[in-house]
Chains A and B, each alone.
Chain A
Amino acid sequence: MKPKSPNIQNAADLSILHHALVGAAEEMGEALKRAAYSPNIKERQDYSCALFDAKGRLLAQAAHLPVHLGSMPASVHAVLAAMELRAGEVAVVNDPFAGGTHLPDITLVAPVFAGARLLGFAANRAHHADIGGAAPGSMAPQTDLIAEGLVIPPMLLRNARGARTQAFALILANTRTPQERAGDLNAQLAACDRGARRLVEIAARTGMHTAPLFAHSRRLMLSNIAKLKPGSFAALEYLEDDGAGTRDIAIRLKLTVSRRGLHFDFTGSAPQVRGGVNAVLAVTQSAAFYAALCFCENLPPINHGCFECIEVIAPEGTVVNARRPAPVAGGNVETSQRLVDVCLAALSQAAPGRAVAQSQGTMNNLTIGGASKDGTAFTYYETIAGGCGASTQAAGADATHSHMTNTLNTPVEALEHAYPLRVEEYSIRKGSGGKGKHKGGEGIVRRVRALGDAQFGLLSERRRRQPAGIEGGESGATGQNTLVGANGTRDDLPAKCQGELAPGQAIEIRTPGGGASGKQPTRD
């Protein structure tokens, strides 16, 4: 054979190892999705899978939702801090203050061995439809963590002999839907095993030299950051309220861009609040990582290397790094969106011409529960898309989920078949996007009528403060929640509330529009 140029081989090895590891993470994801039971995992794809090296550094991740991006490494580190895992064992955790995010997100971590050598870890996270607590779905507004559901500190779910531990039974005993939970947890175990098997194969085939892999992502990330203007940039945003009496909750950021990387400092943000909109550090990190990736012209392979040059400072006891026992259910779904707004606002100051207007900045969480005609209980949960912000080049997309989420809707025909509900309107909310040179995306109007008695819960934001435009573009319209009577009366509902629906009453949600970019050209 002819002599080889080592550099070319290295350049190829790098690419091949990346393909192999991401492929293995994707395979885990497919295995999890296939074996899972609940629609939330199968259809809405609210899960992530990842592989880590022996030091707990992220090798590759298959994520559908950016909100999982930075928070998986935290789970692995929490497990490693709590116990030493042996071959065959699998740990479980959902404690938001020990590696979790909010309680429904359950993470499994399995060690991977080649003989006696620890190669790394296979981990995955799935959003479970119920993990106990005061309300079905474990997502309703509460004022303490214990009311939100079962807290699982890092513990074994499977022992070295491959048997389920007592923790498995404990989890099932604390949920309203034990059979579904068992199915989903088994799927998560199967996904860990598949990831572990592939990691062993990849290590045998490639030798798995991870240092160049991390260095490559880090270099790419830094080359992206090098295109930003160095300096310090401040941004400030407010959450409207926590649903428990606190209003205008500040999220303050000082971003420093340097040749070494990005430094996000949230010092000065509001103290944690009574209502469940507190974010744990992992969620805040995810938002910062997501925002940084949005500004990458060449998206790096996502691994430990890209995060090496991103530092996140968030003082403990604040709404962006809450302390036990703060309730956190809404931290993931609402506060995370506001964190993105703050991060993007700061980053755009460092990237002239690449600013984007704000998107709807909420997930419009709606829960309706009650009894079906035959007396069985039903719980329906959905998030509703809205307008995206415009860029300096193009209008914002209409009726699309933005930033930290990207879950699918439930089709109207499926919903009406399954629940005693009628959807009367599902349309683009005309005129809700900000006006300007490039329009903000339009929000959605969704009106759902109850056919029988029902209870509802609403968790939404951007009902008072508009998604801002840029460069003279108008802001998007705020969202509106309305109770529509059987006779057509209309009463405003607060952004975060719970209540009863009589037969014939409807909830109408008008989701916020996106901000516009640039002044609207004046007509002659």
Chain B
Amino acid sequence: MGNRAAVRAAALGCSGALVGKQQTIAAIDVGGTFTDAVLLRDGKLATCKLPSTPEDPGLAVVQALAQLGGADLLVHGTTVATNALLEHKLARAALVTTRGFADVLAIGRQNRSPADLYALNPRQRDPLIARELRLEVHERVAPDGSIETPLQASEVARVVAQLRKLAPQAIAVCLLHSYANAAHERALGAALAELGLPVTLSCDLAPEFREYERSLVCAANAALAPRVGAYCRGLDRALGNTRLVLMHSAGGWLPAEIAAREPVKLALSGPAGGIAGVRAALATEGLAQGIAFDVGGTSTDVSLVSASNPLRSVTEISGWPLRTPSLDIHTIGAGGGSIAHIDAAGALQVGPHSAGAFPGPACYGRGGTQATLTDALVVLGRLPAQLKLGNQLVLQPELAKSALGPLALAESAKQSKGAGASATGALARAILRVALAGIERALRRVSVERGHSVAGTPLVPFGGAGGLIACDLAELIGTDNVLVPISPGLLCAVGMLHTPASRDLSRTVLLAQSRPALARVKSVANELSRRAVLELRACGLKGPFATQASLDVRYQGQSFELNVPLVADWRQRFDAEHERQFFFHRATAPAEIVNVRVRVSARHHAPVFKFKSPVGRPEPWCQSSSGEPVYAREELPTGFALQGPAIITELSSCLYVKTGWNLKVSKTGQLLLTRKKQMPETEVPGVAAKLPRQAARRRGRQ
């Protein structure tokens, strides 16, 4: 367990940065449907949105960069690694491990997936590497790093010969307790080099204890290496003089050379940009905390964003708990494409089935016939019919209505009153309420898990549909502020412009708190930091580099850790963090330092956008089907204010300002939404009419 809070480099924007001021930086985020590109030149943002090219995602990247006129540095967020893991398009990798433990990958943590708790026949976990490719060597290292059984040269030769015969495409090596003594892994690594294959050593990639998680992340890395490596190298060649760097899951970027070697670190490459964008948007308005909220087609991502950049140590993809530091993003299985249905016992459900990207919601006119959340929003008039999504897709409200029709009619027929259009409208509101209830439930749980309170924390919607339901969700979780960044549909790409190069390294030490232990911890931190700097320099990056070292600490006897900065009073900080997160601490109990972590980041110019406010009083460019005025965002000048209900459209997204909310355009062009204070407690749409009666009933009882 153990979440991790690395401190972000404080001093940004100093001179002598690795990317000179005269250089142009572009950022490109490749999603399932669109490839978003942004370029910063002279404080101005140029943007470009192209359809993705899933068969070769690099094509759209090269094309988009050309349209923007090229750049010196390209920061790239990619789903190549994510999709390979999700679709199991993995190379045939082999694993070398300690004798007696070849099955660690197949046994996992012994548990079945929580989804299979009541399954008559729970699914077999996927070991990622088949049994015949999992080899054992006779050797043993003790927990303190002493060698109990030396690794003989003959054993090494035997394994190399065996692997030559098996002919895998990549190799992972993970021996027991190698974080305490890597000599055996290194000996194997040196011998395996002659095979000319990508080799992942656990002492390099993730020298942290807990053998299943370490083996798994190495196996995943090896299995990704051939495909992701080829993608990085191919794209790098195609980009010519533009230097390619890749966003990694922990919210920085890595040179393509390192990314190709450690592809598992790209597992959350795309979403990481969005978090950086949200953090920058909050900082612009002087806010330290917010809830990033990205509604996609099949899922919704939420993340609690703060200046301290909290990381988590495990990311689950395809049921594999991958132990690699990642931004703390939580995915909920409900999005715009979630299909609504009435279950066998009469409850309205939204999801878990989704119309996906294709055919997508019925209103896209691509053959979808089932009612989705997006269709409900179209029926409610929140997505104006006149809008073209991404300048291309024309919405077809009549298709949305006919998709909702059968559900609405089936229900109203039973009741025989309220049919036709009104039933469709009621159903649309009902679908929205149910979808919101599911998102609210997940958001509350995530925030409790992370020890934060959601109430009062501003919501930052981005992605296509976040703005359409942001006001409703804010009301449900008890927050009065919504912040809509500039170009919310391009936020992942914009965020990448805000991101420095960073290299995260760690090692398990498992030391009881003591003076000699602290000296050892410091020397490990120095060693890790030196290695990170050397690696970044080897890729052509110039300093200066900032290092933050931190420790994963627990009370002796516990089995989870908290991350605290490596500073003189680290112990007091640990007690305080324990108190904050878990409501108690034990100042006199012995502590144990489990892992040492360092983050080395390059100095980075935070991009400065100049918002060029349009002039003149904006007029609605149309009216929605339910009568709300619709404004174009690019016409809204600084200081402009309005009261909901209203709709604001822009190229890649749409915002619905609910009744009871005020909108104001900030100096930087961001939209600030505030809930009117004098409003009585508003509830989810559709039940408002019912409330007074209930309130009266409650009062009557008192």
Contact = CB atoms under 8 A, between A and B. Distances in A.
Interface of A: 1-16, 18-20, 22-23, 26-27, 30-31, 34-35, 37, 39, 42-43, 64, 66, 114-117, 179, 183, 186-187, 190, 194, 204-205, 207, 215-217, 219-220, 223, 290, 293-296, 298-300, 344, 354, 356, 384-385, 388-391, 393-402, 406-409, 411-414, 416-417, 423-428, 441, 444, 447
Which of A396, A411, A441: most chain B CB closer than 10 A? A411
Given A35-B584, A293-B118, A428-B107, A115 B702 contact: yes
Contacts of A186: 583-584
Which 9 pairs between the two chains have the least Cβ-Cβ distance?
A23-B441, A12-B430, A219-B345, A391-B121, A385-B110, A11-B348, A425-B100, A19-B437, A39-B559
Given A2-B421, A398-B107, A426-B103, 8 more contacts: A8-B430, A19-B434, A30-B448, A39-B557, A39-B559, A398-B106, A402-B122, A409-B107
Nearest to B510: A417
B212 interface: yes
A12 B686 contact: yes
B490 to A, nearest CB: 32
B346 interface: yes
Interface residues of B, number: 89
Contacts of B687: 9, 13
25 contacts: A5-B411, A7-B415, A8-B408, A16-B433, A19-B437, A20-B441, A26-B441, A64-B117, A183-B584, A187-B583, A216-B346, A216-B347, A294-B120, A356-B120, A385-B110, A390-B121, A397-B124, A400-B110, A400-B122, A400-B124, A411-B210, A413-B143, A413-B209, A426-B107, A428-B103
B418 interface: yes
B120 A295 contact: yes
B659 to A, nearest CB: 11
B110 A14 contact: no
Contacts of B108: 399
Question: Which interface residue of B101, B106, B349, B430 has the most chain A CB atoms within 10 A?
Answer: B430
B110 A296 contact: no
Contacts of A394: 121
B686 A9 contact: yes
B210 A414 contact: yes
A393 B121 contact: yes
Nearest to A426: B101
Interface string B131-160: 000000000001100000000000000000
A162 to B, nearest CB: 15
Contact of B119 (A20, A114, A294): A294
A7 B210 contact: no
- Greatest chain A CB density within 10 A among B582, B694, B702 is at B582
Given A217-B345, A402-B122, A5 B111 contact: no
Nearest to A423: B100
Contacts of B584: 35, 37, 183, 186
Interface in B401-430: 408, 411-412, 414-415, 417-418, 421-423, 425-427, 429-430
A368 to B, nearest CB: 16
Given A402-B122, A413-B176, A414-B559, A15 B348 contact: yes
Given A23-B440, A115-B702, A399-B103, A298 B343 contact: yes
B422 A416 contact: no
B434 A407 contact: no
B430 A34 contact: no
Given A15-B348, A19-B438, A34-B449, A9 B110 contact: no
Given A5-B411, A8-B348, A426-B101, A207 B114 contact: no
Contacts of A42: 1, 558-560
A427 to B, nearest CB: 4
Contacts of B177: 413, 416
A426 B102 CA distance: 8
B114 A411 contact: no
B122 A397 contact: yes
Contacts of B343: 220, 298
A19 B122 contact: no
Interface string B460-494: 00000000000000000000000000000000000
Contacts of B418: 3-6
Contact of A31 (B213, B430, B442, B448): B448
